A and B are shown apart, each in its own frame.
Chain A
Amino acid sequence: MHQTFDAALEINLLHANQEGADHNRAHFDEWGITCFNIMSSPGAGKTALLERTLAALTNEFKIAVIEGDMTTELDADRLRQYHVPVIAINTGRSCHLDSKMVSGGIHRFAHEYNPSEFDLVLVENVGNLVCPAEFEVGEHTKIALLSITEGEDKPLKYPVMFQAADCLLITKMDLAPHLDVDVNQIVANVRQMNPHVKIISVSAKTGEGLNVWFDWIRSQIQPNH
């Protein structure tokens, strides 16, 4: 004999990831660290931007990088040349970082370094315009990159990431003269769904706009430091 029942659960599917993210953020707060989660499609220029950022700001701030990559350590090796701690996380078949992977990374970091000395942790997420947006890792700030070669319509087609971003960097501006892309249209499309996002146009190649980006970073660093 069977009796059937119904149980109301009403549990968010991302509940466990969210708890992990809150745990990571609590660590960052305790250490006085500001954490950025940097997301974009593959090749939009995340690592190039980080190289420029490390080159410019390591005298001013103590910075560490968490580098998410599906299989290689290529990006991590590029960034180690700037003499900052780079924690590489191979995500394997997973196309995004989640809070548990990052938790492993920050505990490793805290074991090898004195985290209270640090001001900023930059997390380079796996290149992917879709999934990383749903998985918080403990960041204070979400940074989305869109290179101008990707086209004006991408924010409309992949809205979740652009809607959640605190700062949007429109990258590879040096290529604008070679393309039929309307940067104002990119801005308008993003503003439709995210009116308050900070938008900065940059080129890691020529350096255009980078000072605006650096000033914005300065404005985000936790003051208790």
Chain B
Amino acid sequence: MHETDMTKALILTVRDWWESQPKPPEISHIHLIVGQFTCVEPASLQFAFEVQTRNTFLEGATLLIRETPLIAFCHCCQQDYHPEIGVQYACPTCRSPMEDIRSGRELKIDRIEYAVSEKPEYNKVTV
């Protein structure tokens, strides 16, 4: 259910950016990065996004989610490893606990693709 809140946060953040632009651009794609070691389920987020952007400035925009894997660094072995979520988090080589998460906690808006129409601006005085 928190996907609803995450989507709200997403829309508010993008709106802040959108309103700060000199001319409100038409957003076509939002690129999101979601780590596998977060509480966010990409499919639910996708669904929430479609529902919550209806009749807003983001209507029709596409949400593209890139998932990043859980990667931890083992200080004992001095190397990265991939913990198996739900099964095993300790280092498979030396059994040291997972301490240093290098990837998998991301929840961020990476970039936005948008178009700006080049129609003449009628509100500007042309000499």
A225 at the interface (CB under 8 A from B): no
- Name the one of B1, B10, B26, B118 contacting A1, with C-beta atoms under 8 angstroms: B118
Query: Is chain A's interface secondary structure helix, strand, loop, or mixed overall?
Result: mixed
- Name the one of A9, A14, A93, A133 contacting B9, with C-beta atoms under 8 angstroms: A14
- Name the one of B9, B90, B116, B119 contacting A192, with C-beta atoms under 8 angstroms: B90
Query: Is chain B's interface secondary structure helix, strand, loop, or mixed overall?
Result: mixed
- Name the one of A3, A4, A6, A13 contacting B13, with C-beta atoms under 8 angstroms: A13
- Name the one of A11, A134, A192 contacting B38, with C-beta atoms under 8 angstroms: A134
Q: Which of A4, A8, A96 has the most CB of B within 10 A?
A: A4
Is the CB–CB distance between B5 and A5 below 8 Å? no
- Asked whether A4 and B115 contact (CB < 8 A) given A96-B2, A130-B2, A131-B2, the answer is yes
Is the CB–CB distance between A11 and B109 below 8 Å? yes
Is the CB–CB distance between A11 and B13 below 8 Å? yes
CB contacts (< 8 Å) of A156 on chain B: these are: 86-89
- Asked whether A160 and B109 contact (CB < 8 A) given A13-B9, A95-B1, A192-B97, the answer is no
A2 at the interface (CB under 8 A from B): yes
- Name the one of A8, A17, A134 contacting B110, with C-beta atoms under 8 angstroms: A8
CB contacts (< 8 Å) of A1 on chain B: these are: 117-119
Shortest C-beta distance, B30 to chain A (Å), equals: 9
Is the CB–CB distance between A6 and B111 below 8 Å? yes
Chain A 1-26, CB-CB to B under 8 Å as 1, else 0, gives: 11111111111111111000000000
Is the CB–CB distance between A5 and B25 below 8 Å? yes
Is the CB–CB distance between A6 and B113 below 8 Å? yes
Is the CB–CB distance between A11 and B108 below 8 Å? yes
Give the CA-CA distance A133 to B107 in the complex, in Å: 13
CB contacts (< 8 Å) of B47 on chain A: these are: none
Q: How many residues of B contact A (CB 8 A)?
A: 42
* A2: nearest chain-B partner, CB-CB: B115
Is the CB–CB distance between A13 and B6 below 8 Å? yes
CB contacts (< 8 Å) of A13 on chain B: these are: 6, 9-10, 13, 32, 107-109
Shortest C-beta distance, B112 to chain A (Å), equals: 5
Is the CB–CB distance between B111 and A17 below 8 Å? no
B61 at the interface (CB under 8 A from A): no
CB contacts (< 8 Å) of B88 on chain A: these are: 156, 192
Shortest C-beta distance, A27 to chain B (Å), equals: 22
Q: Which of A5, A16, A93, A194 has the most CB of B within 10 A?
A: A5
Instruction: Give 9 new A-B contacts, CB below 8 A, not counting A2-B116, A13-B10, A157-B86.
Output: A5-B25, A8-B111, A9-B109, A12-B107, A93-B1, A94-B4, A134-B39, A134-B40, A160-B37
5 A-B pairs with the lowest CB-CB distances in the bound complex, closest first: A131-B2, A195-B97, A193-B89, A2-B115, A1-B118
